Each structure stands twice: as C-alpha cells, then as structure tokens.
Amino acid sequence: MDALGCALLPAFCTLCGSPLPQLSSVPICNACWTEFPVQSGPSCACCGDTLAAPALSSGPPVGTSSAALCRPCRLAPPPFVRAVAYGLYQDRMKQAIHALKYDRLHPAARRLGRMLAEAIAQLAAEAPAEMLVVPVPLHRSKNAQRGFNQARSLAAHALGFLRKTHPEWRLTLAPSTLMRLRATESQAGLTFRQRRLNVRGAFTVSDPSAVAGKHILVIDDIFTTGATARAAAQALARAGAASVWVATLARARRVSNTGGFAVAYDDETEDNPGLPGNAPGATLQGASVFSSHGQPSF
C-alpha cells in the first residue's frame, strides 16, 4: 500500500509546487520544511500567545508576576497549566496542516509529529515525569468523514520521537480518554466568547477513574483562542485530573486592529472543513473580544 502510495504521488512539492529531486513518500521539499514560521518575541507564560505591545502597556506595571500573562489568561485563568506550540499557523505550516487534514497527506504526519515533539519538549523541565497523552477527539461523524484524527496521528508520532530524546519521561498515549459529545460548529469567525460557548460541554471523559489523580497532556493540531483546549481541560479537571498541559503543532496568530480590542484569528480551526466560504482570517464585525459582558466562562 505504501509503495503504491509513493508511486502515485506527484514529483512536485505539495506546498510550493517546485519539482522534487527524488520521489519521496512525503511530497514536501526541503526548502519548505525550513520555512515553517516560528513564534518570536515575548509570550504569555500560560497560553503562549504573543504579547503584543498594547497588551503589555495596558497591563499591570512590568515586574509584577501577571505581566507575563496575556489579557484573556488574566481575565479568566485557563484550566490548564501551560500551552506550548511549535510554530505559527500561517504560510507553510498552514499549508502542511491542510494537506494532512484535508488531502490526507498521512506521510507528513511523521515530520510534523517531530515538530510537535519539539513543542512538547519545551515542557520537559517543569511538567510531571509521568503523563497521559490525550489527543483532542473529533466527533464520531467527523472522524468517519475524515477517516482519521490528525491530533491522534501527530501525538503518536511525537511520542515516538520523545521516547528517544526523553527516554525517562513516561508519556503514555491514551487516545480514548476524551469523547466529543456533539459535533461543534465551525469556530471560524466566532469571537473569543462565542468560541467558548460553542465548545463548552463538548467533551466528556470516558472513564473518570482512569484520569483521577493523573497528569494529562492534551494534544491538538492548532491552538487558536484556546477555547477547545479550555473545554477539554475543564472536562479532564472535572474528572479529577491532577494537572492538565497542552501542546499543539501550531498557534494561530492573533491579529489585533489599531484599537487592540477587535481581534480576528487567522485560523480555520479543527472544525472547519476548509470550504471556500470560510475564508481564513474572517474578521469579526464589531466584535469586542474582551467586552465587559464577556464574563469568563471558566
């Protein structure tokens, strides 16, 4: 099956279209692999979001402990300890995740899994020595439609790498831990608050006794507002998890306008089938993400 798959793949890079020097099971050229955008500058100590200059200036004086937290994390502390990501969800990263999810470019999962492993490794110094690794599940109907869960695939590959680089770290894949109760609507174009409401109560823990007292690492492909991560972590915490951590392959960059209040997310999230009508970076009309009526949901 693999050999057949290789033979049928085009000898052009899926991402940039340049000819590949040799037939590869992963039709992405080396140049593209080096162009995955990384995050730079100061970031939130909890969710890892980039701390923009306006957020810093409107926050407490530099030097206080909360200065390193973004505004959403200050207003509503997430039910997870820390979220890390490998790179930004844009350009080559965005293309590669799309290729994996919608074009079923399974061979890319291994290389992307290595990137996820690098993100997880950022937690090595502070995270517990033993953790259950829980991919964010798709709803049954979506899983049937797509045929696989990219978060689970990425997690499995990442653990393969981490077993070599961090053999002492006891990370156990527990893919059936979380269940998605309902098929949530596409998150694209929703505000921070709408996203939270959209996924609130979307997850449940299949066997709470398997989670009680355990440290959990939640895995997903994209971290946008953190609404999905919060909902998953909330379900795990309710089941008695000792702590919840989050690692994703990519993080959507928050695009602030001049006022710093209306915020769009350059993402399509895991629930968007990528239809032409759902253009990435859909702006939120008049949305005030941090509006006063947007009380913390968690």
**List of residues contacting Zn ion (CB under 5 A):** 13, 15-16, 29, 32, 44, 46-47, 49, 70, 73
**Measured between alpha carbons, how far is 246 from 122 in angstroms, rounded to an integer?**
11
Residue 97 Cβ, how far from Zn ion at the closest point, in Å? Answer: 15
For 115, phi then psi, to 5°, come to -65, -40
3-class DSSP state of 32 = helix
- Is the CB of 29 or the CB of 132 nearer to Zn ion? 29
Residue 30 Cβ, how far from Zn ion at the closest point, in Å? Answer: 8
Instruction: Report the candidate in 128, 137, 158, 155 with the shortest Cα–Cα distance to residue 243.
Output: 128
Instruction: Report the candidate in 252, 276, 278, 256 with the shortest Cα–Cα distance to residue 266.
Output: 252
For 75, phi then psi, to 5°, come to -70, -40
- Is the CB of 174 or the CB of 227 nearer to Zn ion? 227
Residue 212 Cβ, how far from Zn ion at the closest point, in Å? Answer: 27
- Beta strands 263-265 and 254-256: pairing type? antiparallel
Q: How many CB atoms lie within 10 A of CB 140?
A: 12
- Is the CB of 31 or the CB of 124 nearer to Zn ion? 31
- Is the CB of 69 or the CB of 262 nearer to Zn ion? 69
3-class DSSP state of 126 = coil
- Is the CB of 80 or the CB of 86 nearer to Zn ion? 80
Residue 56 Cβ, how far from Zn ion at the closest point, in Å? Answer: 13
Residue 18 Cβ, how far from Zn ion at the closest point, in Å? Answer: 5
Please say whether the beta carbons of 202 and 231 come within 8 A: yes
Residue 174 Cβ, how far from Zn ion at the closest point, in Å? Answer: 26
**Measured between alpha carbons, how far is 123 from 156 in angstroms, rounded to an integer?**
17
- Is the CB of 47 or the CB of 231 nearer to Zn ion? 47
What does each C-alpha distance from 27 to 35, 73, 178, 204, 260 come to in angstroms? Answer: 15, 39, 33, 37, 40
Residue 129 Cβ, how far from Zn ion at the closest point, in Å? Answer: 25
Please say whether the beta carbons of 129 and 245 come within 8 A: no
- Is the CB of 18 or the CB of 172 nearer to Zn ion? 18
Please say whether the beta carbons of 85 and 245 come within 8 A: no
Residue 29 Cβ, how far from Zn ion at the closest point, in Å? Answer: 3
- Is the CB of 132 or the CB of 250 nearer to Zn ion? 250
